[in-house]
Amino acid sequence: MTDMDRAHASNNEPTGTELAGQVALVTGSSSGIGEETARRLSALGATVVVNSSSSVEAGEAVAASLPGEAHYVRADISQKEETDHLLAETLERCGKLDILVNNAGWTTVVPHRDLDGLTDEIFDKTMQVNVYGTWRLTKAAIPHLRESSNPNVVTITSIAGVRPVGSSMAYSMAKAALNQMTALLAKSHGPIRFNAVAPGLVATPWTADWDAQHEAVAKMAPIPRSATPEDCAEAVLAFVRNGYISGQVLVVDGALTQVT
């Protein structure tokens, strides 16, 4: 968070009214891309529901520090009953839903050649969080989004969903599934807009100790650094703001996929 963001948060007032009256649910928003997206949406006047599965104290702190109205709801989207609870709490507290940002995800590093290392447990958890949970929440949200005058779903995927890379084969497969989900829903469930943001390596608390990977990206990418949460949040806002874009996957990787 920048110094300006902190100043706005301390004032506890939105800095804009572009999204005033709209309600945004951002999953996995206690840190990283989700947190920054929540801050940007709140600064533009949206009421924001912050969510995490385990980082309760951090999630509550993010919600309390946002410049506009915000709520925190703990839920693990890999569990159906908790996904249902998250949506129900959002509707009860806020009365409606206009923007859904599917950011919650999970991964662990398994080299692609290590088939034995990609155990059934790792594969199942990767799919349960990244695919099944995201699908169930999105599906359940669609009837409520239809009531909005400006309905948006933006899903955070990865360049691993468009190239044969990623922290594990399961993760890459999961993100590819989400990209395809985005296209299919955009085709069949307009006027709700469905889009995806596919970052390359992002400098977040999750990757804080991935020094070798960050150095490799900085050496290869035409824009010589890893992405930031701010880069990704701005891409989310681009989709939210444009009323005629749907079914697209926006790669945010400093042109890394153009040279590798």
Q: Please, what's the b/e burial string for 210-247 (b: 16 or more CB within 10 A of its CB; e: otherwise)? A: beeebeebeeebeeeebbbbbbbbebbbebbeeeeebe
Dig out the tokens for 36 from the structure.
């920054």
Could you please report the per-residue DSSP string of 27-70? SS-SSHHHHHHHHHHHHTT-EEEEEESS-HHHHHHHHHHSSS-E
Q: What does the pLDDT read at residue 91?
A: 98
As separate numbers, helices (DSSP H) first and strands (DSSP E) second, the chain gives 10, 7
Q: What is the pLDDT of residue 111?
A: 97
**Phi, psi (deg, nearest 5) at residue 63:** -60, -40
Please tell me the distance from the alpha carbon of residue 246 to that of residue 233, in angstroms, as a whole number: 17
pTM above 0.95, yes or no: no
- Write the CB contacts of 196 (distance below 8 Å, at least 6 apart in sequence): 154, 155, 156, 157, 178, 179, 182, 248, 249, 250
pLDDT at 7: 39
The tokens for 20 are 């005033």
Q: For residue 15, what are the contacts with CB-CB under 8 A and spacing of at least 6?
A: 8, 43, 44, 67
Q: Which amino acid is it at 212?
A: A
Amino acid code (one letter) for 127: M
Tell which residue, 62, 50, 66, 59, has the closest CA to residue 14: 66
Task: Determine if residue 221 is left, alpha or beta; phi over 0 gives left, psi from -120 to 50 gives alpha, anything else beta.
Answer: beta
Q: What is the pLDDT of residue 208?
A: 86
* pLDDT at site 10: 40
For 3-251, CATH gives 3.40.50.720
What integer pLDDT is reported at residue 73 of this predicted model? 98
Catalytic (active-site) positions: 171
**Contact assessment for residue 97 and residue 141, using Cβ atoms and an 8 Å cutoff:** yes
Bridge partners of 194, per DSSP, are 153
pLDDT of residue 2: 43
Distance CA 256, CA 260 (A): 6
Rounded to the nearest 10 degrees, the angle between the axes of helix 120-127 and helix 169-188 is: 30
pLDDT tens digits for range 121-160: 999 999 999 999 999 999 999 999 999 999 999 999 999 9
For 52-72, write each residue's pLDDT tens digit.
Answer: 999 999 999 999 999 999 999
Round to whole Å and give the CA distance between 217 and 256. 8
Q: Please state the domain extents for the chain.
A: 3-251
98 three-state secondary structure: coil
According to the model, what pLDDT value does residue 235 have? 98
Where the chain has pLDDT below 50, the residues are: 1-11
Q: What pLDDT does residue 15 have?
A: 72
